[in-house]
Amino acid sequence: MKFMFQQAFRSGKFVTGFSIFMAILLVVLIYPLIIKDPPLTIIGRGTFFEPGIYVNVYDSLGSPQYTLNLKGADARRVASRLNDDDRAAMQEWLVAAGVPEAEIDTADTPLLLELWFKTYDPTLSVPGMTNARRNYFIRLNNSLQGLLDPNDAILAARDEEGALQQVGTIAQTDFVNVGQVPNVRLLPLGTDNFGRDVLTELVAATRVSLQIGFVAGFIATLIGLVIGLISGYIGGIVDDSLMFITNLFTVIPSFVLLILISFSIGQDKRGAFTVAAVIGFTSWVWTARAVRSQVISLRNRDHVNLSRLSGHSLFSIILRDILPYIASYVVMALILQISAGILAEAGLSILGLGPRTTEVPTLGLMMNWAMIYQAHILGKWWAFFPVILVIALIAFSMNLMNTGLDQVFNPALRD
């Protein structure tokens, strides 16, 4: 066993795959120690907040203020509220409203805005304009108000009579230091459709999915190993009947069984580990076939015959003379089963047959939520892309480890 691992680490592919997998595992283990928030708490009111650093506005007002004279600050401020598409839309509206095209210069902001405020009338109906488009112009018009105003913003408070009194101003050159604002939240991957922190959720989901993969993989490998060993070693009628069942389940698609069983169990009883067990119980077929063919090739080796003639028990022969020879093979099968289990959970969840949603997230459930809330069509990439990436990375690392092991143990495949 020790030798096996030493051998494995001489394969570049195995080491790469192992490193990726360990990196994922480390993040999954360390992250919750630092960020202790429960993964499914809803923190955002609203859906799909973009990734970024969220700074509390109220706290910023009370934080020490610094004056920084930065070149281009105004231009950036204007650009953030008035991009090229908006300018083109304004031109389109103005032309439709009868302004000669030659008079409009979309590059000259003050002139454009002056022309806009002079001409724009929300009640004016432009022929052929959809309602959505009209609303867009109303929103645009609102956001443009005071865009070029050079004056400070005024902070006011109510006095005893309830009248507003100016208590301070905020100049356009005022800054706060983010480190001094008491409430800042970093959302590296934004929030999801329910307003939950995607990164925290993703880490928790990865952990649960890995657990599902491991449980499913172990169950499948164990069943496959037992069936393969018995079938291959004993042979005869036992082999025939076991292989009949195995062949049946090879052609009957396992995901069909998965769907049927998961659906029959019902949403309420479907915990993450129930799903894992179901996946395990429907995916042992490949391991059983592979183990069986290995055992058959070992069955008549000299050392096995010797043990048999010396009267060792069936159990001890299998344990001492057969298992060590197929150990590497079983490990490889296990690795593949784990990654297949993670994929199966994801597929089931997208079909709406994943674990029940109240306790823990899984990668599949995150994908399912993102799809149901159309994150992909709305362009909210942070809700689904990291999930796909993690699934692909896990599968990729497992596959690399497997290929690496394969090349170590089957020299014929080395090229």
CB-nearer residue toward other proteins: 128 or 379: 379
Interacting span for other proteins (CB under 8 A) from 106-114, 208-216, 309-317, 369-377: 369-377
Tell me the closest approach of the beta carbon of residue 83 to other proteins, in angstroms.
17
Among 112, 261, 326, 336, binds other proteins (CB under 8 A): 261
Stretch (H or E) spanning 168: strand 164-170
Distance, in Å, from the CA atom of 213 to the CA atom of 203, rounded to the nearest integer, reads 15
Residue 162 CB, nearest approach to other proteins (Å)? 45
Which of 191, 254, 307, 337 contacts other proteins by CB under 8 A? 254
- Nearest-angstrom CA–CA distance, 161 and 156: 14
Q: Which of residues 296-355 bind other proteins (CB under 8 A)?
A: 343, 346-347, 350-353
Length of the chain counted residue by residue: 415
The answer to the question of residue 52 lying near other proteins (CB under 8 A) is: no
Distance CA 385, CA 390 (A): 9
Nearest residue to 334 (alpha-carbon basis) of 405, 272, 257? 405
By the rule CB under 8 A, 160 interacts with other proteins? no
Q: What does residue 166 show for φ and ψ, rounded to 5 degrees?
A: -70, 130
Verify binding: residue 409, other proteins, rule CB under 8 A. Answer: no
In whole angstroms, what is the distance from residue 43 CA to residue 64 CA? 27
Per rule CB under 8 A, is residue 12 in the interface with other proteins? no
Nearest to 332 by CA among 8, 2, 10, 25: 8
The least distance separating other proteins from the CB of residue 114, rounded to whole angstroms, comes to 34
Chosen residue from 367, 401, 405, 408 binding other proteins by CB under 8 A: 367
CA gyration radius for the chain?
A: 32
Q: Is 23 in the site for other proteins (CB under 8 A)?
A: no
Q: Find, among 163, 147, 164, the residue nearest to 155 by Cα.
A: 164
Amino acid, single-letter form, for residue 138:
I
Q: How far apart are the C-alpha atoms of 335 and 343, rounded to whole Å?
A: 13
β-partners of residue 54 are: 185
Contact call for residue 384 and other proteins (CB under 8 A): yes
Q: Using the rule CB under 8 A, which residue among 175, 255, 281, 409 binds other proteins? A: 255
Does 15 help bind other proteins (rule: CB under 8 A)?
A: no
| Tokens found for residue 329 | 């093979």
- Note whether 253 binds other proteins by CB under 8 A: yes
Helix H, strand E, coil C: the string for 125-138 is CCCCCCHHHHHHHH
Rule CB under 8 A: say whether 356 interacts with other proteins: no
Site string for other proteins, 233-252 (x = CB under 8 A): --------------xx-xxx
Task: Note whether 267 binds other proteins by CB under 8 A.
Answer: yes
CB 202 within 8 A of CB 387: yes
For position 20 contacting other proteins by CB under 8 A, the verdict is no
For residues 20 and 176, which CB has a smaller minimum distance to other proteins in the complex?
A: 20
Work out whether the CA dihedral 202, 205, 206, 207 comes out positive or negative: positive
Nearer to other proteins, 43 or 395 (CB): 395
Site membership for other proteins, residue 85 (CB under 8 A): no
Minimal distance, residue 336 CB to other proteins, in Å: 11
Which spans of this chain sit near other proteins (rule: CB under 8 A)? 247-248, 250-257, 259-261, 263-269, 343, 346-347, 350-353, 367, 371, 376-377, 379, 381, 384-385, 388, 391-392, 395-396, 399-400, 412-413, 415
